[in-house]
Amino acid sequence: MDLDEKKEGDFIESIATQGFGFFHVADEGGQIRGYIHAIPHSQSKRRHVAVFGMIVKKEYRGMGIGTGLLKSMMDWAQDDSSIKAIQGWMVDGNPAWKLYQRFGFVEVGRLPNAVILKPSEISEDKSGNEEKLFVDLVSIWQGVDSN
């Protein structure tokens, strides 16, 4: 997913003004390279689960930014005794899956064909045919040991 500057700014402002949860931006020289957020679930029965999302701009991937962002979120979760688990969603085939696995995340479910890819995200196979337009949405989970 590409970061749209306007949507990115609106999203960051909406998270920052909520006053709860976790938000961390990786930037250099005022340019956002990526960010991560985690928000405790809105239902009181599930408030011990923080739902997270992370994005790193394509041109900065593979530079350790995602690792740093994910580590900062996990440190926050371990320091917050009310957070017992982190849950997230990702598109099947997301290259960040290997990073999530290194941090102990496991796949816990799938929604088949739940995401429609944009034409720019569709690659062609060896025969020149376009790959499927729909991909699975994968739920990932990591338990948290509080400090």
pTM above threshold 0.85: no
Mean pLDDT (the chain, rounded): 84
pLDDT, residue 12, reads: 65
Lowest mean pLDDT among 34-43, 63-72, 115-124: 115-124
> For residues 25 and 12, what is the distance between their CA atoms, to the nearest angstrom?
9
Q: What is the DSSP-derived secondary structure letter of residue 43?
A: S
Give the residues across from 2 on adjacent strands: none
**Superfamily per CATH, domain 5-143:** Gcn5-related N-acetyltransferase (GNAT) (3.40.630.30)
Question: In terms of C-beta distances under 8 Å and separation of at least 24 residues, what long-range contacts does 7-14 make, across chains too?
Answer: 8/32
pLDDT interval class at 117 (50, 70, 90) = confident
Does 16 have pLDDT greater than 80? no
Question: What's the distance, Cα to Cα, between the start and end of the chain in Å?
Answer: 34
> For residues 51 and 109, what is the distance between their CA atoms, to the nearest angstrom?
15
Residue with tokens 């929604």: 111
> For residues 81 and 48, what is the distance between their CA atoms, to the nearest angstrom?
9
Does 77 have pLDDT greater than 70? yes
Quick one: which H or E segment has residue 100?
A: helix 97-102
pLDDT, residue 147, reads: 66
Does 28 have pLDDT greater than 50? yes
